[in-house]
């Protein structure tokens, strides 16, 4: 019995040493990936880890018998196999664009900025009642570099049925729009693209509805006199941080959301594969740049799925809607560039305060805030405090960040608020919070 225990202890010790060797080589691989920014699809890091492991195995086996010399190479082989899975692509390196939508034509416009964007047009419906709006309405979706969801398309169709001449475009790199070189994804480029798009419309000034990241683009456009001159009215809905100082605010959020309450999203996840789990994980941690050599931009877009968003989708809904969150998109239409989005967000974080320029804004504007918002409240109130041209604020009860979500009458209520402002009609909801009421709004944790 003592002999068996000794053998078991020795076997366990050898196994632990082997596992430690594997873990060490994997750690060397990951550190080298970070230091080289994933150069050459990670092959350089893989060869480095393999070389170090081989040298260590040769040194450990130098005084052993010929057969025993092979044992130290087993952890090297295991580590090499594990890390090789990070270096081998499973998605095409060329962009795989979503197929055409069955209910709207996809046009492609090349803007003066050089961006080639996918454009969708919903002409005003020929309704028996209601008024057609002479000013075109441009929609800027969230993301920031993400395709327009089917759910958003349905809402745009509703606006068109109410007489709006609706145009939407997917920002460069998102959806069916062409990719840009990674260093060209900036918030400034997004603002210039908006100006170029309105010019390309050729219909004079345009009304613009900017949602989430689109609201950030619109806010920065309002602070740029040359771009703001192209805007008739602006609706900033649930904006993200507009500049570096705002991005660093650690404030509270809205009423409880469905994050942590909703069932986990189903479907394939790229992050279940070692290559994309490592790439997206290290990018999110800031250890790899968006332009990393580990995965190409197109490959990353091809790989990323709706399920990879995890609880982010649930955070856009109220807690009471946790168990009936609608499908926002189809697998075929979904498109998100995690790398380009991180790049745009970084340029926002690196930008100086927008407040001095925003205070000179004269374009009539409206702010929309959701009750169960997952956004930091100060992101929205900073816009309200800084833009003197905001004429009304509409606090939308019973909805989360994605205010037009197809549940109950949420789409109709959001459309009514938008239409009333664009027609300069009475607001369906109280003007809340007002500019003077911001301190009380934040204090009450609304």
Going through 261-377 in order, the beta strands assigned E by DSSP cover: 365-372
DSSP category for residue 263: P
Mean pLDDT value of segment 429-441 = 95
The 3 state secondary structure assigned to 180-219 is: CCHHHCCHHHHHHHHHHHHHHHCCCCEEEEEECHHHHHHH
Mean pLDDT value of segment 422-431 = 96
Give the pLDDT score at 72. 74
The ranges assigned to domains in the chain are 2-87, 107-265+317-443
Pick the CATH number of 107-265+317-443 from 3.40.50.1820, 3.40.50.970, 2.120.10.30, 3.20.20.70: 3.40.50.1820
Give the pLDDT score at 59. 80
Give the pLDDT score at 265. 86
Band of residue 396 on the pLDDT scale cut at 50, 70, 90: very high
Give the pLDDT score at 209. 98
Q: What percent of the chain has pLDDT over 90?
A: 79
User: Mutual orientation of helices 43-60 and 73-87 as an angle, nearest 10°?
Assistant: 180
Token readout for 225 is 């006199």
Give the pLDDT score at 156. 98
Quote the pTM value: 0.92
CA distances from 213 to 135, 140, 190, 228 (A): 23, 8, 10, 18
Token readout for 208 is 């613009």
- Residues in Cβ contact with 404 at an 8 Å cutoff, skipping those fewer than 6 apart: 151, 152, 155, 158, 410, 411, 414, 415
- Residues in Cβ contact with 84 at an 8 Å cutoff, skipping those fewer than 6 apart: 46
Q: Are 18 and 74 contacting, i.e. CB atoms less than 8 angstroms apart?
A: yes
d(CA 276, CA 269): 9
Token readout for 174 is 């998102």
pLDDT for residue 171 is more than 80: yes
Give the pLDDT score at 13. 62
Mean pLDDT value of segment 113-118 = 98
Report the residue count for the chain: 446
For residue range 185-194, list pLDDT tens digits in order. 999 999 999 9
DSSP alpha helix (H) spans, 268-351: 274-284, 297-303, 338-349
Q: Residue for token digits 């994309």? A: 276
pLDDT for residue 405 is more than 80: yes
d(CA 314, CA 261): 8
CA angle 326, 332, 407 (to 5 degrees): 15
d(CA 408, CA 399): 10
Mean pLDDT value of segment 264-269 = 87
């Amino acid at each position: 019995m003592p002999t068996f225990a000794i053998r078991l202890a020795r076997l366990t010790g050898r196994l632990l040493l082997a596992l430690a060797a594997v873990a060490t080589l994997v750690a060397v691989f990951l550190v080298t990936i970070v230091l080289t920014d994933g150069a050459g699809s990670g092959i350089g890091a893989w060869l480095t880890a393999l070389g170090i492991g081989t040298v260590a195995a040769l040194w450990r086996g130098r005084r052993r018998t010929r057969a025993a010399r092979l044992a130290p190479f087993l952890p090297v082989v295991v580590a090499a196999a594990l890390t090789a899975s990070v270096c081998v692509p499973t998605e095409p390196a060329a962009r795989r664009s979503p197929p055409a939508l069955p209910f709207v034509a996809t046009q492609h416009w090349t803007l003066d900025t050089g961006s080639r964007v996918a454009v969708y047009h919903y002409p005003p419906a020929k309704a028996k009642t209601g008024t057609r709006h002479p000013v075109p309405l441009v929609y800027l979706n969230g993301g920031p570099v993400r395709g327009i969801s089917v759910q958003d398309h349905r809402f745009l169709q509703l606006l068109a049925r109410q007489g709006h001449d609706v145009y939407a475009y997917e920002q460069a790199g998102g959806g069916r729009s062409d990719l840009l070189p990674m260093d060209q994804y900036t918030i400034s480029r997004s603002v210039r693209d908006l100006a170029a798009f309105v010019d390309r419309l050729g219909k004079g000034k345009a009304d613009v509805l900017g949602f989430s990241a689109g609201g950030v683009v619109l806010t920065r456009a309002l602070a740029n006199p040359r771009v703001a001159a192209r805007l008739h009215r602006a609706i900033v809905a649930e904006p993200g941080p507009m500049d570096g100082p705002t991005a660093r605010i650690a404030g509270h959020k809205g009423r409880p959301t469905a994050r942590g309450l909703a069932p986990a999203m189903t479907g394939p996840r790229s992050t279940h594969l070692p290559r994309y789990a490592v790439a997206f994980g290290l990018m999110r941690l800031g250890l790899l740049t968006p332009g990393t050599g580990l995965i190409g931009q197109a490959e990353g877009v091809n790989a990323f799925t709706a399920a990879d968003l995890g609880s982010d989708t649930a955070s856009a809904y109220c807690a009471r809607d946790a168990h009936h969150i609608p499908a926002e998109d189809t697998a075929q239409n979904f498109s998100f560039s995690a790398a380009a989005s991180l790049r745009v967000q970084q340029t926002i974080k690196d930008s100086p305060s927008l407040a001095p320029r925003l205070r000179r804004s004269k374009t009539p504007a409206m702010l929309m805030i959701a009750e169960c918002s997952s956004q930091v409240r100060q992101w929205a109130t900073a816009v309200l405090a800084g833009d003197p041209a905001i004429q009304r604020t509409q606090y939308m009860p019973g909805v989360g960040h994605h205010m037009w979500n197809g549940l109950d009458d949420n789409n109709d209520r959001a459309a009514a608020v938008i239409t009333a402002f664009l027609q300069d009609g009475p607001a369906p909801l109280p003007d809340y919070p007002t500019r003077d009421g911001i301190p009380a709004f934040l204090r009450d944790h609304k």
